Amino acid sequence: MNKTIAFFLVSVVKKIVVIFIGYCLIEKIRKIFLRKAANVFECNQPFSAIIHANSPDS
């Protein structure tokens, strides 16, 4: 009986640890991605303005 409880607790703790680590990694990746996306957007604004100015459509 005690072995079963111990095994159950270990599996629950492992799941919690995995979820916690996964959540932290996802948050880090999301922050890095958002920062890079913001930088790319800021860097591309002047280029897109130049392209629009030079395009024959305008």
pLDDT tens-digit series, residues 4-55: 999 999 999 999 999 999 999 999 999 988 888 777 766 666 666 666 666 6
Q: What residues contact residue 52 under an 8 Å CB cut-off, 6+ apart?
A: 58
Q: What is the pLDDT of residue 50?
A: 65
CA dist., res. 31 & res. 35, Å (int): 6
Would you say the pTM of this structure is higher than 0.85? no
Which pLDDT belongs to residue 58?
46
Q: How confident is the model at residue 56 (pLDDT cuts 50, 70, 90)?
A: low
Please give the pLDDT value at position 48: 64
Cα angle 31-34-18, degrees, rounded to a multiple of 5: 35
The domain limits of the chain are 10-43
What is the amino acid identity at position 32?
A: I
- Rounded Cα distance between 49 and 58, Å, is 11
